[in-house]
Amino acid sequence: MKFVYRCCAGLDVHRDTVSACVRRRVRGQAEAVIEEQVFGTFTQDLQRLRRWLKKHKAKQVAMESTGVYWIPVWNVLEGGFRLTLVNPATVRALQGQKTDRIDARRIAEYLQYGLLRGSFIPPKPIRELRALTRMRAHIQQDRNRVINRMARLLETVNVKLASVASNIAGVSGMAMLRLLASGVHDPERLAECARGHLRIKIPALVLALEGRPDAHFRWLLAELLGKLDRLDEELVRLEARLGELAAPYADVLRRLATIPGVDQTTALVLLAEFGDDMSQFPTAAHLASWAGLCPGNAESAGKRFSGRTRKGDRYVRRILVQSAWAASRKNDCFLAALFFRTAQRRGRKKAAVAVAHRILVIAWHILAESGAEYVERGGDHFDRRNPQRTARRLAQRLEAIGYKVTLAPAPEPKPARPRGRPPLPKTGADPNLCPKCAAWGIACIHVRNSVRTAKQKDTSSASPSESGS
């Protein structure tokens, strides 16, 4: 097999050690020369690894993505080498041949022959955004867990607030919970905390809030409320930091938010996960494959066994599926039409994944093309694409329920009458020409009326002596 790189290195990374192997091709020799050494993972040890790789003139370095242990090695070597991060599944060891030294040799050999495909690692500013957006997702999950614990705690003391209020952590619900934690047990006083549309449910709230709270319940509820407040404060600080780091990408976020179902939060997550430089993904299909939002391939002997999507980036997949459900509720929207068109054949869950895939494709085009924005095709896009087929399908549905259908072309629509006051034309010296009526193309009515009004005024203003004479 032909060598792709003359000198390269493979690293087998662990928490405490890094096994390094350098393969160098020498002219006149069929086999490559191998240099091996083991290093620690402290910063000084990684600096020694960097100097050792430079000494052996290894410019290409590959390593496995083992948890988070590869990140310190990447941080020290970044900038001086061409780094490749590979999926451990692509360099899996054979059974019975698994040691750190053999793993480093195998990675270096695969790299030298050009058999490794690197994972996508965004630049440092995007990595910082990614860390913050993922932290926000985790805090939101912690917040939801605390709210669920409060709902279960209320059930243990016969307080059925969740049966009446759809969101116990809203403004009204939080006011009631804080009063409960402070020792207020009167259902009518608690129900008076309702705000907005919840006030029409005050009689039901009075019944739901009549429970058996005790001191232990109040202590637990106060602890959960305090934890929820701390999480809210963390979210406020995190949002402020996100706003600072996302300021240079304001135009990109605005253009991504033009997609139906994609708001500023979703746009920021997409930007943080795969950045704004689409040179890493030659086509939209490459990005969809990386995100795990395209059908998988499992085929042998001409038979297709499964089309399940791969795992991909779970943060991108989750936020895009949520956006797909939001887009399915839009009126006169192309993505909503795509959702229901797919749902009638494959089901609603697969339709949500299909719409998520389409949103990702649209996002790729927006990022790949300078200044591009989403252009709405309309909810009737598929009907307008082939009107004859749409007419036949609808006629068949009517005939299936007992109607007789005759298809005929619709008459051409009449030109609509212009709305509002038309512009007044420029008139000449003719005093009998009314500009208003001439603009509408009708016989003049204003000049005649004005002449009649002037004659009446002359008659009424005449003196009695003049009229008598």
The pLDDT of residue 450: 60
Tokens of 329: 């509720």
Residue 258, in any domain of the structure: yes
The pLDDT of residue 298: 76
Q: Mean pLDDT throughout 228-248?
A: 95
- Report d(CA 32, CA 116) in Å as an integer: 18
Whether 142 and 196 map to the same domain: the answer is yes
Whether 236 and 147 map to the same domain: the answer is yes
Alpha helices in 307-347 (DSSP H): 314-327, 334-346
Whether 166 and 233 map to the same domain: the answer is yes
Query: At which of 60, 90, 112 does a domain end?
Result: 112
Residue 382, in any domain of the structure: no
The pLDDT of residue 448: 58
Whether 102 and 44 map to the same domain: the answer is yes
Q: Which of 174-183, 424-433, 444-453 has the lowest mean pLDDT?
A: 424-433
CB environment 5-31: b (16+ within 10 A), e (fewer): bbbbbbbbbeeeebbbbbbbeeeeeee
Residue 335: give the domain boundaries.
249-298+306-368
**Exposed, middle or buried by CB within 10 Å (0-12, 13-18, 19+), for 383?**
middle
Whether 318 and 342 map to the same domain: the answer is yes
pLDDT at 442 over 80: no
Output phi, psi for 439, to 5 deg. Answer: -70, -35
Contact between 317 and 360 (Cβ < 8 Å): no
Question: How much is the mean pLDDT over the chain?
Answer: 87
**How many C-beta neighbours within 10 Å does residue 49 have?**
23
* Residue showing tokens 């135009």: 251
Contact between 76 and 49 (Cβ < 8 Å): yes
Whether 241 and 129 map to the same domain: the answer is yes
Residue 190: give its domain's CATH number: 1.10.287
Q: Is 294 helix (H, G, I), strand (E, B) or coil?
A: coil
Sequence-distant (6+) residues with CB within 8 A of 109 are 10, 23
* Residue showing tokens 């409320």: 225
Whether 132 and 238 map to the same domain: the answer is yes
Residues in the chain: 469
Output phi, psi for 150, to 5 deg. Answer: -65, -40
Query: At which of 86, 112, 138 does a domain end?
Result: 112
pLDDT at 201 over 90: yes
Whether 231 and 254 map to the same domain: the answer is no
pLDDT top residue among 68 and 297: 68
Looking at the structure of the chain, the number of domains it has is 3
> What does the pLDDT look like over 366-413, one tens digit per residue?
999 988 999 999 998 998 888 888 888 899 999 999 999 888 887 877
pLDDT top residue among 333 and 462: 333
Whether 97 and 130 map to the same domain: the answer is no
Query: At which of 112, 145, 160 does a domain end?
Result: 112
pLDDT over 90 for what percent of the chain? 62
Whether 199 and 241 map to the same domain: the answer is yes
The pLDDT of residue 25: 87
Read off the pTM.
Answer: 0.79
